[in-house]
Amino acid sequence: MSDLKNKNTMNKKHDETPLLRIRGLKYAYSNDKHALNGIDLDIWNGEKLAILGANGAGKSTFFLNLNGVLKADAGSIELDGVKMSQNKKDLNRLRSSIGIVFQDPDNQIIASTVRGEVSFGPMNQEIPVEEVRIRTEAAMKRMDIEQFADRAPHYLSSGEKKRVAIADIIAMHPEIFIFDEPTAALDPASSQMLEGVLDRLSDEGRTIVVSTHDVNFAYRWADRIIVFKDGKIIAQGTPDEIFRNREVLEAANLHEPTLMTVTDHLKSAGLIPESSDNPRSVEAFVRMTKELTALSEKTTDTGVEQSA
């Protein structure tokens, strides 16, 4: 499909080991069709990875195979250079190392109180009780849900439940955070809160994988984008590489991010130099326009002085 498929856009050294290496991963819910059909992917420590693709492309199935909830029919998964098997020890390591925040928090939340829910994961990691308490309190404080600690989570709002689900995973201290369509059903304020959480986790050097249908979010946030279709990876690359590839966009039914379209139109109109980098966030776009305006005013003032 695309010459981006096998391109190593992260420019990693050949002797560097990826945090997670997936090779030839296959999974079928029935004998008729593979939900995953030969997935090859390296995930690097500290990277921000966005996964795009239509519903049914295989994104959620891929996540559930990564942390051992589903058992792959074929292929291999290596964590920190160690090949994982289906024995209990390796499955426990995968589940402790790879934390998933599901799209619908009601599918994740099982405890009768928020505190009980957030402490459930660490308790199953068989760590000391005091450490469980410290992690639970820290995770609730981080997600600003301390006031709900003794409340039943199922009576919270969608945004509040999402914060509880994220606190669940934070308390487990995984190496990799996976968010499956995290902004689904969230209002703008909750979505902004969630993006702030992702940014803070990234600033701490955590590895974050997010599946999303929001191309504007993927464009401004991700280091690298993976595109799924029919259980396969059809392309991977930087946000600019992916969204400049018309063949990939059409195949995956994606569209350009708004800022890319606007900036390209301004360049075509001669209002922005062709050599300027495309801003990937609103903040970067505003900075660029202010800088160009200041430069234009300075040039105008210099011209007036010379003519005088």
Q: What is the DSSP letter of 271?
A: S
Instruction: Say how many CA atoms lie within 13 Å of 48 toward its Cβ.
Output: 20
Cα separation, 275 vs 35, in Å, equals: 42
Confidence grade of residue 187 (pLDDT, cut at 50, 70, 90) = confident
Cα separation, 57 vs 36, in Å, equals: 8
Q: Helix H segments across 67-187?
A: 88-97, 114-124, 129-142, 158-170
**Any residues with CB less than 8 A from the CB of 214 and at least 6 apart, and which?**
183
Confidence grade of residue 16 (pLDDT, cut at 50, 70, 90) = confident
Residue that wins the pLDDT comparison between 242 and 290: 242
Which of 253, 112, 102 has its CA nearest to residue 182?
102
Residue 263 has pLDDT above 90, yes or no: yes
Question: Cα dihedral angle (283, 289, 293, 296), rounded to 10 degrees?
Answer: 140
Confidence grade of residue 7 (pLDDT, cut at 50, 70, 90) = very low
pLDDT in tens, 63-108: 999 988 999 999 999 999 999 998 999 998 999 999 999 989 998 9
Supply the pLDDT for residue 297: 74
Cβ atoms 180, 102 nearer than 8 A = yes
| Helix-strand-coil split of the chain, %, nearest 5 | 45, 20, 35
pLDDT in tens, 176-186: 999 999 887 78
Residue 43 has pLDDT above 70, yes or no: yes
Supply the pLDDT for residue 10: 47
